Amino acid sequence: MKIAIFTETWLPQINGVVTHIKTLKDGLEELGHKVLIVTADSTVKKHCITKDVMYCPAVRLKSIYDYDVSSPLSIDRMRLISKFEPDIIHIHNEFGIGISGILISKVLRIPLVYTLHTMYEEYIYYVANRHFGKFVTKASHQYARALADTTGAIIGPSPKIRNFFKKCGAKKHISIIPNSVELETFNPDAVNPETAEKLREKFGFTESDVVFGFCGRLGKEKNVSVLLSHWAEKVKPGDGFKLLIIGGGPYYEIHKREIGELGVSDTVTLAGRIEHNELPPYYACCDAYITASQSDTYSISMLEGMAMGLPVIHIKDELNAIIPGVNGHFYGDAEEMYRHMNNFKNMSPGERAEFKRTTRESVMFSSSGRLAKDIIEIYVSVIAEKEKKKNIVKADRENRKKL
């Protein structure tokens, strides 16, 4: 099968959507399928294909995560896609490149699949101030419903996506296919203990410190400010807790300032942006994962931490991947967060090792092969449904001729 995957973001950018698509691409290719990535790139002047990636001219939006956005209309893009002859088009974004995928699927009559990764209600502040927030939210719901109507199938990584489309008024069935993680890469046994130990020393963590890690692109929607506020409210220097925040982004400097203003510089460290393939040792130098984000549908960074054996302390978000007592705990406020932190700290070495084991075990289903096989089933059903409709139309036409 030939699959054209349309995505606004692609390597070397680092975010959950890119990681998901790369994992899907690897899994599809392992199964013998051919994949063409179609992405926006503000560094190119004309459409070009390098290996298995089509780079489309774009402009960079500094105000929205420095993303590249491409025009949805392009004869050159249409021509190159037609030449590739995909069996399916799979869009992963809702802007220029995503709209382009929809238009090309209609013109070339190629079946279309859509994956929604992000709860965009959490990102409204990027494009509208508080006075226009309600208007933009309503418009975004209408847009999401219109997108749903154009596709043969919708995929979401968690039930949060199903609830979102229900709120938007979309009637189409939503297939829930959880995100996957590179289990061989994010494996505690694959990390040299000395490398992790050197990182702990670099960040000033002692052997007795209990280190909680968070990894993600630093934007308002990740709620790191809330996490820092809770941390400052409850954690004292003598508690033996440390927080390692891994990632860069538009809120990096803001969080750096907050750490100083809240007086938590002794217990909180910003690691900055780390390349994806260099992350495992950073997870390995942590003891657990902690987050206050509610914008994620099924956080890949969190899954990677879990694959590394890090139990998660997660702000209440019951549609996420946490199974209390098996791979983490939920908290509602600073007091409850602190209680879970202390409970983890007070576990015996055996209890902590077992908690880490069950945490990794809980994501062992999340391989790239599993993701690709599940999505191939969606592709096959969408292609079959489109063929069925085509045959019905053809038969109807022939019947009319006979009349």
Sketch the domain layout of the chain as residue ranges: 2-180+368-402, 188-361
pTM of the model: 0.83
- pLDDT-based confidence at 319, cuts 50/70/90? low
Helix (H) or strand (E) segment spanning residue 97:
helix 96-108
Residues 194 and 202: their CA atoms lie apart, in Å, by 12
> Any alpha helices (H) in 6-71, and if so which ranges?
16-30
Residues in the chain, total = 403
> Which is the CATH superfamily of the domain at 188-361?
Glycogen Phosphorylase B; (3.40.50.2000)
The whole-number pLDDT of residue 128 equals 46
3-class DSSP state for residue 61?
A: strand
Give the residue with greater pLDDT, 63 vs 259.
Answer: 259
CB count within 10 Å of CB 384 equals: 12
What is the three-class DSSP state of 331? Answer: strand
Fold topology of 2-180+368-402: Rossmann fold (3.40.50)
- How far apart, in whole angstroms, are the C-alpha atoms of residue 87 and residue 243? 47
CB-based contact 38:4 (threshold 8 Å)? yes
3-state secondary structure of 290: strand
Confidence label for 253 from pLDDT (cuts 50, 70 and 90): very high
The confidence score (pLDDT) of residue 143 equals 79
Whether 188-361 and 2-180+368-402 are alike in CATH topology: the answer is: yes
Average pLDDT over residues 281-286: 98
**Statement: residue 125 has pLDDT above 60:** no
Is a pLDDT exceeding 70 seen at residue 123? no
Q: Around Cβ 220, how many Cβ atoms within 10 Å?
A: 16
Which of 255-263's residues contact partners 24+ apart within 8 Å by CB, and which partners?
Answer: 255/218, 255/224, 255/225, 255/228, 258/225, 258/228, 259/228, 262/228, 262/229, 262/231, 262/232, 263/232
Query: Could you tell me which residues are beta bridge partners of residue 288?
Result: 212
Range 35-59 average pLDDT: 96
Mean pLDDT of the chain: 90
The percent of residues above 90 in pLDDT, for the chain, comes to: 68
Give percent of the chain above pLDDT 70. Answer: 93
